[in-house]
């Protein structure tokens, strides 16, 4: 029975069905993970979370897409140079404490100020949020750079193995 199914191409059809389920699930779950990542980012100033955990979760959402699709498709969907994003995140993370130092505040001492927003009224804004934006960008980009380099290396070794056979 198994050999008959193999002859009919069952394994290929079964793999394609799994791909369809994985792709659909990835499309549905990806925005949920990203929203939760942003939620962790914003709640991190008062509770556990913040830029590091939020950045890791954002990278994990993109890794889910990488599992469902291939590296070329992900690079077309998200066409950022991760090295530049790492540099941007580090620059933001260093810029915030340096600006505060210019105003006479000790390094990494965060300040709060209040902004009047139309619907929300007076909202506290902490300098830690801007610092965490840099951490979020850096962590997500560094994680994705490592994973994309590993995926590229794996694809290259697979293609070399195919050339030998």
Q: What is the pLDDT of residue 162?
A: 57
Is-contact 129 44, C-beta < 8 A?
Answer: no
DSSP code per residue over 32-69:
HHHHHHHHHHHHTTTSS--HHHHHHHHHHHHHHHHHHS
Report which of 67, 25, 62, 72 is spatially closest to residue 139, judged by C-alpha positions.
62
The pTM (predicted TM-score) of the whole model is: 0.77
The percent of residues in the chain predicted with pLDDT above 70, rounded, is: 81
- When comparing pLDDT for 113 and 162, which is higher? 113
pLDDT digits (tens, 9 = 90+) for 74-114: 888 888 889 999 999 999 999 988 888 888 888 777 778 88
Q: Where are the domains of the chain?
A: 2-164
Alpha-carbon torsion 148, 149, 152, 153, what sign? negative
Is-contact 46 137, C-beta < 8 A?
Answer: no
pLDDT grade, residue 1 (50/70/90)? very low
pLDDT digits (tens, 9 = 90+) for 5-20: 455 555 555 555 568 8
pLDDT digits (tens, 9 = 90+) for 129-142: 888 899 999 999 99
pLDDT grade, residue 151 (50/70/90)? confident
Report which of 139, 132, 131, 146 is spatially closest to residue 55, judged by C-alpha positions.
139
Q: What is the pLDDT of residue 157?
A: 72
pLDDT grade, residue 36 (50/70/90)? very high
- When comparing pLDDT for 4 and 161, which is higher? 161
């Amino acid at each position: 029975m198994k050999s008959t199914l193999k002859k009919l191409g069952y394994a290929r059809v079964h793999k394609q069905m799994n791909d369809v389920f994985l792709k659909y699930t990835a499309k549905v779950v990806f925005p949920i993970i990203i929203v939760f990542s942003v939620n962790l980012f914003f709640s991190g100033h008062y509770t556990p979370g913040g830029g590091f955990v939020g950045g890791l979760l954002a990278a994990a959402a993109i890794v889910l897409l990488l599992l469902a699709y291939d590296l070329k498709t992900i690079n077309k969907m998200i066409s950022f140079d991760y090295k530049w994003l790492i540099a941007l995140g580090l620059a933001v993370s260093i810029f915030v404490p340096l600006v505060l130092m210019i105003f006479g505040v000790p390094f990494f001492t965060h300040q709060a100020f209040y902004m009047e927003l139309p619907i929300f009224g007076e909202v506290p804004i902490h300098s830690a949020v801007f610092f965490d934006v840099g951490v979020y960008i850096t962590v997500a980009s560094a994680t994705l750079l490592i994973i994309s380099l590993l995926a590229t290396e794996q694809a290259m070794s697979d293609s070399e193995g195919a050339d030998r056979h």
